[in-house]
Amino acid sequence: MKLKSYFSLFILCFCAFQLQAQDQKKKIEIVDGRNFHKDEEKFPGASIFNGDTKQVQFRHEGIDVWCDIAVYYQKENFIQASGHVYLQQGDSVKMNCNYIEYEGNTKLAIAEEDVVLRSKNMKLETQKLYFNRTLQQCYYNSFGTVTDPENVLTSNSGKYYIETEKFQFRKNVHLVNKDFVLDSDELDYYERSKHAYLYGPSTVNGQDYVFYCERGFYDTTVEKGYGVKNTQIDYDQRIINGDSVYFDKPREFAAATNNIKITDTVNNGLIKGHYGEVWKAKDSMFVTKKAVAINVVENDSVYIHGDTLMLTGKENERIIKAFRNAKFYKSDLAGKCDSIHSSQVTGITQFIRRIPKNTPERDHFKYNPVLWNGGSQMTGDSIHLISNTKQEKLDSLKVMNNAFIIERDTIGEGYNQVKGKNLYGLFNDDNKLYKIDIIKNTESLYYVYDKQEFVGIDKAICSRIEIEMENNAISSITNYIDTESTIHRDEDLPKNARKLPGFYWRGDEQIFTKDDIFDEDDLNVELVKIRGIDSPISIDMEEMGRTSTVPEEGTELDYEKVEKQEKQEHPNKKPTAPNLRPTLNLLPNRTQQLPTAP
């Protein structure tokens, strides 16, 4: 029983000893304080240390502080230091200031007046800095400047995370690099990688680009990054928007994903889709996934669509290519083919066919390009729309080989038809097709009416046919040279003779609106899930896993030399200490005035 009591007593004594040891361990230690005195009237309960030939030095759980004057409240475990203050915590924190307050129990410090915090390749300057050693964080809200070999950053407030070597800047963040300037409302900056994470409206102004986003990432060492909220890049006379936009200055490359929009500011053009790439050096871009190019011609928008759109060429020399399932639409003209090629230099827009392998020759016409002008359907082996490059108006139309025009009879159930080798059309000043010539081996079939009363069906063969158009419909047909024409009564012409060879009506494919250029696959395209930057903890882990960057020779800031100079400069000069300031309730309030150094 007695053994048990002794054992319990031993445990209690051991715990008390441990607690006492821990409490003593937390006490601030005066390492070097040769001139020591007290002034109970002004500093009740405090010990005052003045440096003589050497500065006062105190230590507490991994930090050392040197100063000219120190007032130490042992009971509260609190110290005030003034005059050429230098604080060091291992290799992670090295700081100079003119005044500091330190609370040993909470490990909170406030540094004031010309505060300079340093690491190997970074310098933070401010007038007031809060240092929480428990959290290993420093904070300022009185404007600060951070300098490293790559950038100079300023902000109204900021926080420095020592373990992750991360700065968290807030309010009027301004980053200056030799190649660009970055402004942001909120920015996280990693000291080692020089990466900036943007959490508010941010703008990067480079030498030949402007990058804006409200959430994104930017690598300041190589000028590349991305935005995932309200992102826009003004790049080589093109403005790029999208749910996610990536930019790489060294490669002269930009890419956008989901709901993208690329505006050609020079040529008044616009390309939309859900994925696109821009290559500045090559003067090219391509867009896919519900891709459409929009250009304005005489106040009328022209839409070109394809599974993939490609735009190449310099200013005023642009070429637009639409590949696979290409379509064209303007208010009074529309078309469809396998691919489209449009040149700004020649003013020619080509509609090109692609015939699947093993298709019988008799069925090739089914894959010919088709153009609709009102109720008229025009087809041929290839179709060219020709624009006036100076006036930016439609000038003429060519249908080469197997030209065929079909128009549904507006009164009856038949089809008016004209065919020949080639077709040439002309547009008026209002971009309306008003005249068509068909030449070589021409044939026509036309339903004739007299005051809305059916007369007969005119079938003719000749060398050339001229068609007059009015309100996007055939108003008259005139046959020329060696004409053989017969008007048949309805009962005299069999049904199978009412279609010319090569007839293929494609009315169910006709495009009536700009929305008709998209098929079911375009409308149901699945958008890519955009990866955000909403998890700072994950970003911290990712950044800490990166290897530290090594500055180029000659760029490293010589802070070691600065530190030695700060400690050695004026070793015998003892300035008058400043008045003690209130400490915003983070540390015990002190209203006494520090004594004057001898």
Tell me what pLDDT residue 305 has. Answer: 92
Tell me what pLDDT residue 568 has. Answer: 53
| 139 vs 583: CA distance, rounded Å | 14
Tell me what pLDDT residue 32 has. Answer: 87
Residue spans per domain, the chain = 25-121+551-598
Which residue from 281, 290, 236, 282 is spatially nearest to 261, judged by alpha carbons?
Answer: 290
- First-residue to last-residue Cα distance in the chain: 65
Tell me what pLDDT residue 536 has. Answer: 63
* CB burial string 259-273: b at 16+ within 10 A, e below: ebbbbbeebebbbbb
Question: Which three-class secondary structure state does DSSP give residue 312?
Answer: strand
Q: By the 8 A CB rule, do 200 and 214 touch? A: yes
CB atoms within 10 A of CB 305: 27
Please state whether beta strands 29-32 and 56-60 pair in parallel, antiparallel, or not at all (unpaired): antiparallel
Amino acid, res. 304:
I
**Could you give the C-alpha distances from 470 to 71, 120, 473, 558, in angstroms and in order?**
100, 80, 5, 82
Single pTM value for the model: 0.75
Tell me what pLDDT residue 570 has. Answer: 40
CATH class for the domain made up of 25-121+551-598: mainly beta
Which DSSP helix (H) or strand (E) runs through 270? strand 269-279
| 577 vs 556: CA distance, rounded Å | 34
Tell me what pLDDT residue 151 has. Answer: 93
Amino acid, res. 39:
D
∠ Cα 435 436 439 (to 5°): 150
**What would the two tokens of residue 412 be?**
């009856």
How buried is residue 430: exposed, middle or buried, by Cβ count under 10 Å (0-12/13-18/19+)?
Answer: exposed
Residue in this structure with the two tokens 């030949």, named with its chain if needed: 208
* CB burial string 509-526: b at 16+ within 10 A, e below: eebeebebbbeeebeeee
Cβ contacts of 127 within 8 Å, gap of 6 or more: 112, 113, 114, 115, 142, 143
**Could you give the C-alpha distances from 26 to 74, 111, 132, 160, in angstroms and in order?**
11, 21, 15, 25
State the DSSP code for 359: -
State the DSSP code for 531: P
Q: What is the dihedral of CA 548, 552, 555, 560, to 10 degrees?
A: 50
| 79 vs 64: CA distance, rounded Å | 13
Which residue from 239, 90, 119, 132 is spatially nearest to 191, judged by alpha carbons?
Answer: 119
Cβ contacts of 419 within 8 Å, gap of 6 or more: 402, 403, 404, 405, 438, 442, 443, 444, 500, 501, 502
Which DSSP helix (H) or strand (E) runs through 197? strand 195-198
| 527 vs 524: CA distance, rounded Å | 9
Which residue from 373, 288, 370 is spatially nearest to 330, judged by alpha carbons?
Answer: 373
Question: Which three-class secondary structure state does DSSP give residue 240?
Answer: strand
DSSP assignment of 75-94 equals TTTEEEEEEEEEEEETTTEE
Tell me what pLDDT residue 14 has. Answer: 44
Tell me what pLDDT residue 43 has. Answer: 84
Tell me what pLDDT residue 479 has. Answer: 86
Q: By the 8 A CB rule, do 68 and 83 touch? A: yes
Residues in a beta bridge with 167: 160, 189
Tell me what pLDDT residue 125 has. Answer: 95
Which residue from 433, 499, 432, 435 is spatially nearest to 464, judged by alpha carbons?
Answer: 435
Which residue from 523, 525, 520, 518 is spatially nearest to 304, judged by alpha carbons?
Answer: 518
Tell me what pLDDT residue 535 has. Answer: 62
What does pLDDT average to in each consecutive run of 10 residues of the chain (598 residues)?
Answer: 46 45 68 83 87 85 92 92 92 90 93 91 92 92 91 93 90 94 93 91 92 92 91 86 91 91 82 91 88 80 90 83 90 90 89 90 88 90 87 84 90 88 88 88 90 89 88 82 87 90 91 91 84 69 59 36 45 36 33 41
**What would the two tokens of residue 310 be?**
């490609």
Q: By the 8 A CB rule, do 217 and 244 touch? A: no
Tell me what pLDDT residue 395 has. Answer: 86
